[in-house]
Structure 1
Amino acid sequence: MSWDYEKFVQLSDAEEYFEFFQLPYDQKVINVNRLHILKKFSEFIQQIDENNPELSNSEKLSIYRDALEQAYQIFLESTPLEQKLFKVFKQKPKNVITLTELSSD
């Protein structure tokens, strides 16, 4: 399949990526996990580009398609909290004592 790389770099919405690559998706899943899917997809793209600088644009797009499918699949089987893609999920809350930190004397 042949995709237009110039068109790809202009995409921004999750639905646009799925439609560009002609991948099926559930709108409810996209609505709930949109930012997480796009963040994971972005991480995959960065890894692909760093590890495969010799690939042509059409070869990259083929691999990007698989990466988008994989990012989507992750959030069918996992939650954003489990994936911890964003800083807010990685930070320990301040002024909070967890039950595991309490001890009975």
Structure 2
Amino acid sequence: MTDEDFDLDYDELVSAEDFLTYFGVDYDPAVVQVNRLHILQRYHDYLDQAAEMPADAATRRALHAEQLTRAYRDFVASDALTEKVFRVFRMHEPRQIRVGLDQLLEHLPHAAKV
């Protein structure tokens, strides 16, 4: 496999199933159906953490396969809410903000002054 072959093949991958099949990762379709975006984001995050991307296509493909397998397994053993891949899952609980009536009345020109 040449670098160009790998790059061309990689550019054609669209779905989580495409990635898993291409890299030879055995998967349960039920796990992928529920967690597809989370798996792909975690895979991307793991690749970003790699110190350096290998120049050799075969080594690069092996690294991708390893990180995709790792990402998939995260969601076999856990779930999206626990893993918190996306920012929305890491947000804090909603906060309560109190605004006094006097503060509201200050901004209304037609409100009577008390």
CA separation in 1, counterparts of 2:53 and 2:85?
25
What secondary structure is seen at the aligned counterpart in 2 of 1:52?
coil
Larger Cα Rg: Structure 1 or Structure 2? 2
**Identity within the alignment, %:** 28
CA separation in 2, counterparts of 1:92 and 1:7?
40
Shift of 1:15: 0.4
CA separation in 1, counterparts of 2:68 and 2:43?
5
CA separation in 2, counterparts of 1:39 and 1:62?
18
Quote the residue 1:91 is aligned against. Answer: 91
> TM-score scaled to structure 2, two decimals?
0.72
> TM-score scaled to structure 1, two decimals?
0.77
Q: Does 1:77 align with 2:91?
A: no
Q: How many residues align?
A: 93
Runs of 4+ off more than 6 Å: none
Quote the residue 2:32 is aligned against. Answer: 30
Shift of 1:33: 0.7
What secondary structure is seen at the aligned counterpart in 2 of 1:34?
helix
**Residue of 20, 23, 26 corresponding to 1:21:** 23
Unaligned runs of 5+ in 2: 97-114
Shift of 1:53: 4.1
What's the RMSD between the two structures over aligned residues? 1.8
Cα deviation code 1:18-56 (max 9, x no counterpart): 1111221111000011111001001112222xx124532
Q: For the Cα contact (< 8 Å) 2:53–2:60, is it kept in 1?
A: no
